Amino acid sequence: MKQVVIATKNKGKAKDFEALFNPFGYEVVTMFEVAPDLEIEETGTTFEENAILKAETLANLLGKIVIADDSGLAIDALNGEPGVYSARYAGDHDDEANMVKVLANMKNVQEEERTARFCCALAIAGPNMETKTVFGTCEGIIAHEKKGTNGFGYDPIFYVPALEKHMAELSGEEKGAISHRGNAIRKLALQLAELLK
């Protein structure tokens, strides 16, 4: 099977990418397989900067084409927080604690003010090519409680009005069709077949 290397150590994210790539005959390979001890510090202040950092670091190490994803949740009532710091919002990469913190900060926010979006910057880097980035978003509403067990991160508290479901109630395929990650990948689609051949 053809392979696509993703510079991630997030198993939920890797599953999202599998739903997006497997139908096209690509196996998803992550840092767990190719560089389990590599720690990439996310020092950027934008999603794009961090995606480029992750993609270029792993591409340089492996000498092959790598895709990286830096993503997060931007909540309007919290001035775009947690944003680039989504993974570290409540401390150290704890999805459960991050959701508790969002729900607490949104406690007194009225329905119409609960708008938010997931954002995803993808970077693709490799030998003898200029690093490219694309950006995708997915609009939704911060719910008052968690619902659903699929997905990862903030999916249980993110309500998707168009589908009348929380993101964590969607299958991988359903999520990919409307997600920030899916929307970003679709912007790369034309180049991907050429780059990953």
Ligand X SMILES: O=c1nc[nH]c2c1ncn2[C@H]1C[C@H](O)[C@@H](COP(=O)(O)OP(=O)(O)OP(=O)(O)O)O1
Structure-token pair, residue 35: 């560089």
Nearer CB in complex with ligand X: 79/128: 79
Determine the Cα–Cα distance for residues 156 and 149; give it in Å rounded to an integer.
7
Q: Is 152 part of any known ligand binding site?
A: yes
As measured in angstroms, the least distance from the Cβ of 87 to Mg ion is: 5
E-strand spans in the chain? 2-6, 26-29, 66-75, 115-125, 132-142, 158-160, 165-166
Nearer CB in complex with Mg ion: 74/143: 74
Nearer CB in complex with Mg ion: 10/141: 10
- x/- track of binding to Mg ion for residues 67-96 (CB under 5 A): --------------------x---------
Tell me which amino acid residue 30 is.
T
| Catalytic residue list contains 95 | no
Q: Is 155 part of any known ligand binding site?
A: yes
Q: Where are the alpha helices (DSSP H) in 22-149?
A: 31-34, 47-62, 95-105
Catalytic residue selected from 16, 69, 70, 95 = 70
As measured in angstroms, the least distance from the Cβ of 74 to ligand X is: 10
CA separation, residue 35 to residues 29, 32, 52, 157, 195 (Å): 10, 6, 17, 32, 21
As measured in angstroms, the least distance from the Cβ of 70 to ligand X is: 4
E-strand spans in 79-192? 115-125, 132-142, 158-160, 165-166
Binding residues vs ligand X (CB under 6 A): 8-10, 13, 42, 69-73, 86-87, 98, 118, 151-155, 167, 179, 181
As measured in angstroms, the least distance from the Cβ of 36 to ligand X is: 12
Selection from ligand X, Mg ion, none that 166 binds (CB < 5 to 8 A by kind) is none
Determine the Cα–Cα distance for residues 75 and 71; give it in Å rounded to an integer.
13
Q: Which active-site residues does the annotation give? A: 70
Q: Binding residues for Mg ion, per CB under 5 A?
A: 87
